[in-house]
Amino acid sequence: MSVSRIRPLIVHVILIAVSALMLIPFLLVVFGAFKTQGEFTRDPGAWLPASFLNLDNFVMLFQRGFGGYLLNSVIVSVMVVLANLLFSSLAGYALAKLRFRGARLVFGIVISAMMVPIVAIFVPQFLVAVQLHLVDTLVGIAAPMMVMPIAVFIVRQFASSIPEELMEAARLDGASELRIFWQIFLPLLGPALATVSVMTFLYSWNAFIWPLVIAQSQNTYTLPIGLSIAASSNNTTLFGVMLAGAVVVLLPVLILFLLLQRYFVQGITATGMK
Amino acid sequence: MADVLSRREAPGRRLPPGVRLRIGHEAATAWIFLTPTLILMALFTVIPAVIALTLSFTDIGLRDLRDPFSVDFAGLDSFAAVLANTDFQRALLNTLLFVLVGVPLTIVIGLVLAVALNTGIRRLRPVYRTAIYVPVVANIVAASVIWKYALGYQGPINEALTHIGIPAPNWLGDPQWAVTAVIMLTLWRNIGTAMVLFLAGLQAVPEDVMEAAALDGAGSWGRFWHVTLPLLRPTTLMVSVLITVMYMNIFEEPYLLTGGGPLGSTRSLSLWIYEQFGYGKIAASMAGSFVLLALVALVSITQFRLLRPKH
């Protein structure tokens, strides 16, 4: 009897402790972003800021060009999400609902592409980008992310569960494939497209290695690149501004995550990929 | 390719002409729909993968970047040079250390948390799950900025440690503590993924199997060991392959938190590859990628064999 009462307590204690540890960095960034430079020098170990009304760090951040980086990040993410929505629903429809020789091969390539680590191929990707004159452009940053295998995979898996009869009936009525795709298939794809949007936004907003390689001037830096370059060039001097930058980078994804958590988790468990 | 789709297509000859025409039309539509995907995947995944394999057998350098056809065949020279490079060897060992420490910790902690979340705590489950999962979606550059500040020698973490009487380590200045810091950052970022995947696996374990085992007199530990774990085998396989590959490719954490230092103690294989690219040593970089890709493939295949269902 006592064991059954103690065990839930232990479980809660463990989960509260782990949750608290996981959230400490988020607390520290919020506290730190409101500290003045003087506070960092005077007492670098203090947790709380003197005042939560000090917005100097954010002002300085935007004076240092972070507004432009923010805009670049938004443009790249919008391009990536829209391209993935369109291309993955077209490809997913073809792979799940149309009969043609080579469907298995194409799907096999999509699956294998999910396994290729960016670290292993970013150099030849850069060579391709050089040939296509995409170096130091926003399109160049977005291009390799415009078709994510994971997006094709999610749509294809979801589309397989849509009954064949709906499309067959439309075909017998003489509807064109494009019309079937647009008027019958797409409207049924809602939940899959929500997952695709969330996953591809997360991926492009957080993308680091590729933008680091291909963005070569302030005109094309995305937020993470701008922040990492700023952080490495003034190591200890401007903690407050760097932490304010971290808040700006984190906030959109965190808000989206809290609102649409269901789709994030679905995306992960559907594919086992980040 | 003996697949279901082409077999469905094969008896087309006996179908009425109109239907046959439609199937041909369907194939044409399929290829048109697939065109953007295929072009982009060819340009940015398939061709680069082929180039990566080819270039590591050449002497390509920085000046060849704009004219890739001017390079000469160099056989296995790049590989020989890379394998003999002491920095590369160190990076290989560092990566091995990250894998050997990071992977088991991520999997065990992820599984324990998933099991804890799966014990009847209904109301608070989403709260805990959110808190533990949220670092997964956090941007790594932002995370590293925060961690660098938090782990500073006089920073808030050491302040708290000193407060409760634990001697403050020099997290980012001492080689061993730097390795610990990088592993802590990777755990922070990856435990949520393992936990969510295990939780999905646990929720698929049928209730009646557990009840039957309980009726047979199995205790909760016995049920976990003899019923839950074997049923979780496919999930465990997926999680371990996924997490191992993540740790083998580890790049952002050491690059951003420690820059590979101090004294090369946290330089991973990926970081070494990236640095070679930065120095213009493209052939060395490619040969390093080749070794990394081969290792990733080898480890994934081995894990699939070891953990696949027993018959």
Report DSSP letters for chain B, one per residue: ---HHHHHHGGGGGS-HHHHHHHHHHHHHHHHHHHHHHHHHIIIIIHHHHHHHHHTTB---GGGTT-GGG--B-TTHHHHHHHH-HHHHHHHHHHHHHHHHHHHHHHHHHHHHHHHHTSS-TTTHHHHHHHHHHHHHS-HHHHHHHHHHHTSTTSHHHHHHHHTTPPPP-TTTSHHHHHHHHHHHHHHHHHHHHHHHHHHHHHTS-HHHHHHHHHTT--HHHHIIIIIHHHTHHHHHHHHHHHHHHHHT--HHIIIIITT-STTTT--HHHHHHHHHHTT-HHHHHHHHHHHHHHHHHHHHHHHHHHSPP-
CB contact under 8 A, A106 and B26: no
Partners of residue B73 on adjacent β-strands = B58
Is the CB of residue A93 less than 8 Å from the CB of residue A156? no
Is the CB of residue B150 less than 8 Å from the CB of residue B170? no
Output the pLDDT for position B76.
76
Output the pLDDT for position B10.
44
User: Looking at per-residue confidence, does B256 or A264 come out higher?
Assistant: B256
CB contact under 8 A, B65 and A127: yes
| Nearest-angstrom CA–CA distance, A189 and A167 | 14
CB contact under 8 A, A104 and B1: yes
Least confident of A111-125, A185-199, B32-46, B78-92: A111-125
Q: Does A105 touch chain B (CB under 8 A)?
A: yes
CB contact under 8 A, A98 and B249: no
Q: Does B158 touch chain A (CB under 8 A)?
A: yes
pLDDT score of B11 more than 50:
no
* Predicted-complex ipTM score: 0.90
Q: Does B211 touch chain A (CB under 8 A)?
A: no
Q: Does B273 touch chain A (CB under 8 A)?
A: yes
pLDDT score of B73 more than 80:
no
Other CB atoms closer than 10 Å to residue A122's CB: what's the count? 26
Least confident of A242-256, B26-40, B76-90, B267-281: B76-90
Touching B: A residues 71-90, CB under 8 Å = 86-88, 90
Which residues in B lie closer than 8 A to residue A25 (C-beta atoms)? 135, 138, 143, 146-147, 150, 188
Output the pLDDT for position B12.
41
Output the pLDDT for position A108.
87
Output the pLDDT for position A4.
63
Phi, psi of A135, deg, nearest 5: -65, 135
Least confident of B52-61, B183-192, B199-208, B252-261: B52-61
CB contact under 8 A, B3 and A104: yes
Length of chain A: 274
Phi-psi sector, B75: left (phi>0), alpha (psi -120 to 50), beta: left
B74 is written with which tokens? 């160099």
Output the pLDDT for position B68.
60
CB contact under 8 A, A246 and B142: yes
Instruction: List Cβ neighbours of A137 (8 Å cut-off, separation of 6 or more).
Output: A220
CB contact under 8 A, A8 and B148: no
Output the pLDDT for position A211.
96
Least confident of A147-161, A220-234, B54-68, B248-262: B54-68
Output the pLDDT for position B72.
66
Interface test with B, best of A15, A112, A258 (most B CBs within 10 A): A15
| Contacts for B27-33: CB closer than 8 Å, 24+ residues apart | B27/A98, B27/A99, B27/A100, B27/A101, B29/A94, B29/A98, B29/A177, B29/A178, B30/A94, B30/A95, B30/A98, B30/A99, B30/A100, B30/A103, B31/A94, B31/A100, B33/A90, B33/A91, B33/A93, B33/A94, B33/A98, B33/A181
> Which whole number is the average pLDDT over B173-183?
94
B237 is written with which tokens? 């396989």
DSSP string, A164-232: HHHHHHHHHTT--HHHIIIIIIHHHTHHHHHHHHHHHHHHHHH--HHHHHH--STTT--HHHHHHHHHH
| Nearest-angstrom CA–CA distance, A211 and A134 | 12
Output the pLDDT for position A22.
96
Whole-number CA gyration radius for chain B: 25
CB contact under 8 A, A272 and B242: yes
Which residues in B lie closer than 8 A to residue A8 (C-beta atoms)? 119-121
| B9 pLDDT tier (thresholds 50, 70, 90) | very low
Least confident of A9-23, A128-142, B28-42, B289-303: B289-303
CB contact under 8 A, A98 and B124: no
> Which whole number is the average pLDDT over B149-158?
91
Output the pLDDT for position B115.
92
| B105 pLDDT tier (thresholds 50, 70, 90) | very high
Closest-CA residue of A relative to B120 is A8
Q: Does A12 touch chain B (CB under 8 A)?
A: yes
B27 is written with which tokens? 């194939």
Is the CB of residue A58 less than 8 Å from the CB of residue A257? no
CB contact under 8 A, A98 and B41: no
| B293 pLDDT tier (thresholds 50, 70, 90) | confident
Output the pLDDT for position A52.
85
Low-confidence ranges of chain A (pLDDT < 50): 1, 273-274
For the question of whether the overall pTM of this predicted structure is more than 0.90, the answer is: no
Q: Does B155 touch chain A (CB under 8 A)?
A: yes
Looking at the partner chain, which of B1, B239, B289 has a beta carbon nearest the beta carbon of A120? B289
Interface test with B, best of A39, A47, A127, A185 (most B CBs within 10 A): A127
> Which whole number is the average pLDDT over B232-242?
88
